[in-house]
Amino acid sequence: MTSRGNRPVRRIYLGTTPRTVLALMATMAMTACAPGMGGPASPPGGASMEATGKPINPTTGPCPAASTSAGTSESESGGASAVLSAATAFVNTLDEKQRTAVMAERTPATLAQWSNLPGPLVKRTGLRIDTLNQPQRDAVMAILKAALSPEGYTQVRQITTADGVLASSGGANLDFGADHYWVRILGTPADTGKWTFQYDGHHLALNISVDGGDMTLAPSFWGAQPASYEIAGTAAEPLCGETVKAFAVMDALDADQRKRATLTTPVKEIVLGTGQDGKTLAPEGITASSLNENQKKLLLDLIQEWITPLTTTNSAAKLSAAKQNLDQVSFAWHGATTIGNPIYYRVVGPMFLIEFAHQQGAGPLGGGITHIHSIYREPGNDYGAQSGS
């Protein structure tokens, strides 16, 4: 990690280039091209404006340069208390009918209703972004800004913008769109007790659970289709760091270690995605206790990539625990070891579980490295302990 002022900034392992998207992309494309993300209002009838861009091949080197100008500084976000304030402000913008639609009881059943599937393939409840007026959309974005690090917020914007690119590339039959994301609040936002803000749609599902001053982002589904794209001559690749850092771990292993890390049974899709709450996976692959110090550092860098989308105040303890328990972490892999090829990997620790998979199926843009599914879970602490209380 490096630092910018008092705020840590994640950088990838190859050189000093930050991990996500150029400033022009964050400021121009995600506002002008994504109406649900704080840009112009959608056309009449709620139709989504499409992001004018084109898919490009994912990088095999340093990730596109990052800009966090669309996010907030840690001092501005403030963690759980700021999320509560932002959620309360959002609810206050809603009329009675909207409030009834967006608010629901927090139970295991309602918590589990998120999905990464496109709209026509799953029945969702809540309110879709393109049905909200601009102040209400801004209020939703304020919740995300408060809950996420600037890098995490930028990553969300990249993923949703990709849906606009997908729509303009032949995905209209599945009703893709940069503002086709749903919001719900489960439980009552308050200083005490558990409540959850859900934000989900195609290839993104965030479960932001708050319990007093504690906050978790598990489970969270991070996907991308296309996995990388270009708008106004600048590139975005939402899961670049999660890809490049994984290859860095494999590249650092010797032949025997690679053999131990490689799964004997092929895996081409994440196992614990939507509908798999309460389950876990047995550790497989190679354990960190058998790695040298440099290999451990690369593995910890990869783990950090998955934890730090949450605001720094709430991710710091999780990062500390991951470091303290690193020897108990396992790393497993399936696929080629040369970057630019489809892969699956899994990182399992005492307090977290990570899965990442390139999709092989057909679609508007095909599969392979142009299409990613991934999941971050905290077994025993998904949704803030999954109690439903």
Q: Average pLDDT in the 286-310 region?
A: 97
**Residue 345 near residue 333 (C-beta atoms within 8 A):** yes
pLDDT score at 40: 29
Q: What are the tokens at 311?
A: 């605001």
Longest dimension (CA), the chain: 62
Q: Please report the pLDDT score of residue 2 as a whole number.
A: 32
Q: What is the mean pLDDT of residues 273-287?
A: 93
Q: Provide the sign of the torsion angle of the four alpha carbons 208, 74, 321, 258, taken in this order.
A: positive
User: Quick one: pLDDT at residue 22?
Assistant: 28
Q: Are 41 and 35 in contact (CB under 8 A)?
A: yes
Query: Above 70 in pLDDT, residue 42?
Result: no
**Mean of per-residue pLDDT scores for the chain:** 82
pLDDT of amino acid 361: 63
What are the residue ranges spanned by the domains of the chain?
Answer: 2-226, 240-377
Q: pTM to 2 decimals?
A: 0.84
Q: What percent of the chain has pLDDT over 70?
A: 79
- Per the CB < 8 A criterion, the answer to whether 31 and 209 are in contact is no
Report pLDDT for 166.
Answer: 85
**Does the structure show a pLDDT above 50 at 17?**
no
